[in-house]
Amino acid sequence: MTDRLIAHVTPDELAGRAGRLFADGYRLALVAAHEDPGALRVVYLFTAGAPDRRTELHVRLDPNEPVIPSLAALSFPAGRFEREMRDLYGVVPAGHPLPRRLVRHHHWPRGWYPMRADAGPPPAFGDPEGPYPFVTVEGPGVYEIPVGPVHAGLIEPGHFRFSVVGETILKLKARLWFVHKGIEKLFIGRDPGEGLPLAERVSGDTSVGHALAYCLAVEEATGCVVAAEAQRMRAVLLELERLYNHVTDLGALCNDVAHGILNAQSGRVREQLLRINAEVTGHRLLRGGVTLGGAVLRARPDPGRLRAIAADVAEIAELALGHTVVADRFAGTAVLTPGAARDLGALGYVARASGVAVDARRDHPFTDLGPFTVVAGETGDVMARFQVRAREIAASVEVIAYLLDGLPPGGVCGRPPCTTPGGATSGVGIVEGWRGTIAHRVELAPDGTLTRVKIADPSFFNWPALPVALSGAIVPDFPLVNKSFNLSYAGNDL
């Protein structure tokens, strides 16, 4: 486990310290507000890879007048975290360029901050801050297409407002935050073991990713040492999750250009993977595999079978890209430039397809993955995202084969969870889920219960990249582009 540097700074020192960290190659992994007795405390977690470095800046604020200087000028994600913090805790970012609501929709009353201890039950709607400030694009022939939040297909709720001339998208505003569940608040006061089922359910398709990040964070906080074998098993589960999600999306991308036969084929492969998942963990979506302090594998996945599946998927990808019309639809569609990806702090395959090689498996490893290399693309279009994910499938199967090599056959349990050493502690877990880098930060009370869990899903970073990539694209290509990003609504809006 990597040591974290924790520095307590005053609000005035914050920008300077953060600027130096950014200059040293750190990225902002998460920002979380905490309610301490007699103070509000804001924690900035900065991480950097190669070698794995983690630095925290803690800023104490006056609870009666919680104002913190905004870092939005230094980092785009910081500005978004600050808006989230303002909505949930009432911490005001001073000098923020866009100080409006992010998480809380406008019908929630002013001055009500749901994460505060004294928030109470949700109040009645009222005292709205006015209608949502959609930017209207004006000009001859410009019209708006509102879509959602209820869609024709079975997808999560999000409202998209397109400003269009002809079929060309001039501006897209994605209005999200329809699924706020208060998950972070539900953690508070629970025993870490009781928090695990919650973490598994943050985003239904990322149960291993979030469960593992949560467990790593709790284990760091409790000083629990996890057996190397258990860590390898966890890495296997993480790759299994990546496999079935990547396969699903490769098929869905083909389906979105009406090449349904490849979707049917990847559906067949996906089912094989889900059955392997069920054999390995007893759950088709891999729940219950990662436990506090260890991992449970009912059976080892067979590397030969997985290799056969990888070959099958490679053929599907080859057929897709060999199809002139499919390739034409993918190529050059919705380009996210490397500069934009870097500025927005994009993560996962979205960033890697734009040539920004961020991968927590290399930057923040919790176990040795063998000869693993980060898969990266260049062009940043739908094609690149498709190819990166197709290549990651092959890479994941090799990683699984490497990890299984040293694992004893059959189901193995890790060591049981440790007890808290006494005194308030904190821990951080960073994991490369299939969508990108997931970061969890937990704080424990002296009695071992959770006082705060902050979850940062990669979707939180990647959502702003979608409208940027889409400017200049055409309306009928939006579903394809959206699928190529495949961002989580549930993981974004906790």
Partner 1 sequence: MTGLIGAVSQVVLVAVGSPLLAGLMRQVRARLEGRAGAGVAQPWRDLRKLARKEPITPHGTGWVFRLAPLVLAGTVLVVAAVVPLVTTLSPMDGVADLFAVTALLALGSVALALGGLDTGTAFGGMGASREVTVMALVEPTILLSVFALSVRVGSTNLGAIVTSAVHDPLEVISPVSLLAAVALAVVTIAETGRIPVDNPSTHLELTMIHEAMILEYSGPDLALIEWASAMRLSVLLGLLASLFAPWGIATAGAGLAAVVLGMAALVIKVAALGVLLAAGEVFMAKLRLFRIPELLAGSFMLALLAVAASFFLA
Position 142 contacts partner 1 (CB under 8 A): no
Residue that is written with structure tokens 């705060």 in the block: 452
The pattern of x and - marking residues 160 through 189 that bind partner 1 according to CB under 8 A reads -------x----------------------
- 10 Å CB burial of residue 152 (0-12, 13-18, 19+) is exposed
Q: Beta 39-48 vs 27-36: how paired, if at all? A: antiparallel
The distance of closest approach from Cβ of residue 101 to partner 1 in the complex, given in angstroms and rounded to an integer, is 25
26 close to 54: Cβ distance less than 8 angstroms: no
Q: How far is the CB of 170 from partner 1 (least distance, A)?
A: 14
Can you tell me which of 107, 268, 275, 305 binds partner 1, judged by CB under 8 A?
268
In the three-class reduction of DSSP (H, G, I as helix; E, B as strand; rest coil), residue 101 is classed as coil
Stretch touching partner 1 by CB under 8 A, among 133-141, 257-265, 354-362, 373-381: 257-265
Q: Does 424 bind partner 1 (CB under 8 A)?
A: no
User: What is the three-class DSSP state of 114?
Assistant: coil
CA distance 88 to 112: 8
Q: What are phi and psi of 85, to 5 degrees?
A: -65, -35
Q: Smaller CB distance to partner 1: residue 220 or 477?
A: 477
Residue 235 or 254 having the CB closest to partner 1: 254
Pick from 156, 443, 477, 493: which binds partner 1 (CB under 8 A)? 477
Q: How many residues of this chain interact with partner 1, rule: CB under 8 A? A: 31
Among 6, 264, 311, 424, binds partner 1 (CB under 8 A): 264
Residue among 133 and 146 whose Cβ is closer to partner 1: 146
Task: Tell me the DSSP string of 309-362.
Answer: HHHHHHHHHHHHHHSHHHHHHHTTSS---HHHHHHHT--HHHHHHTT----HHH
Please, which residue, 151 or 307, has the CB nearer to partner 1? 151
Q: Is the dihedral of CA 279, 282, 284, 286 positive or negative?
A: negative
C-beta separation of 290 from 218 below 8 A: no
**Residue 262 or 494 having the CB closest to partner 1:** 262
Helices 478-485 & 382-405, crossing angle to 10 degrees?
20
Exactly one of 34, 300, 329, 364 binds partner 1 (CB under 8 A); that residue is 329
Please identify which residue in 20, 94, 143, 225 interacts with partner 1, judged by CB under 8 A: 143
Confirm or reject binding of residue 259 to partner 1 (CB under 8 A): yes
| Binding segment toward partner 1, per CB under 8 A, in 232-240, 251-259, 389-397, 422-430 | 251-259
Instruction: Check: CB of residue 207 under 8 Å from CB of residue 200.
Output: yes
**Cα–Cα separations (whole angstroms), residue 82 to 30, 97, 452:** 10, 11, 17
Considering only residues 97, 152, 410, 423, which one is a binding residue for partner 1 as defined by CB under 8 A? 152
DSSP 152-184: SSS----EEEEEEETTEEEEEEEE-------HH
Contact between residue 474 and residue 160 where contact means Cβ atoms under 8 Å apart: no
Of the two residues 167 and 368, which places its CB atom closer to partner 1 in the complex? 167
Q: Which is nearer to partner 1, 408 or 476 (CB)?
A: 476
Rounded to a whole number of angstroms, the minimum distance from the CB of residue 172 to partner 1 is: 11
Within residues 295-324, the interface with partner 1 by CB under 8 A covers 323
In whole angstroms, how close is the CB of 251 to partner 1 at the nearest point?
Answer: 11
Residue 316 or 456 having the CB closest to partner 1: 316
Partner residues linked to 136 by β-bridges: none
- Report which residue type is found at 97: P
Structure tokens at 442: 């937990």
Kindly tell me which residue out of 144, 318, 368, 378 binds partner 1, with binding defined by CB under 8 A.
144
Q: Which stretch binds partner 1 (CB under 8 A): 148-156, 211-219, 220-228, 283-291?
A: 148-156
Which is nearer to partner 1, 296 or 473 (by Cβ)? 473
Token representation of residue 45: 């977690």
Q: What is the β-pairing status of strands 4-9 and 27-36?
A: unpaired
Tally the residues of the chain. 494
- Is the four-CA dihedral 360, 361, 367, 371 of positive or negative sign? negative
Q: Kindly state whether residue 137 participates in binding partner 1, applying the rule CB under 8 A.
A: no
Interacting residue with partner 1 among 151, 185, 342, 415 (CB under 8 A): 151
Tell me: does residue 257 bind partner 1 (CB under 8 A). Answer: yes
Indicate the residue among 98 and 145 with the shorter CB distance to partner 1.
145
For residue 58, give the H/E element and its range: strand 53-61
Our CB check for partner 1 shows the closer of 62 and 167 to be: 167
Regarding 67 and contact with partner 1 (CB under 8 A), the answer is no
Task: Return the number of other C-beta atoms located less than 10 Å from residue 319's C-beta.
Answer: 15
Binding site for partner 1 (CB under 8 A): 143-147, 151-153, 167, 254, 256-261, 264-265, 268, 323, 325-326, 328-329, 474-480
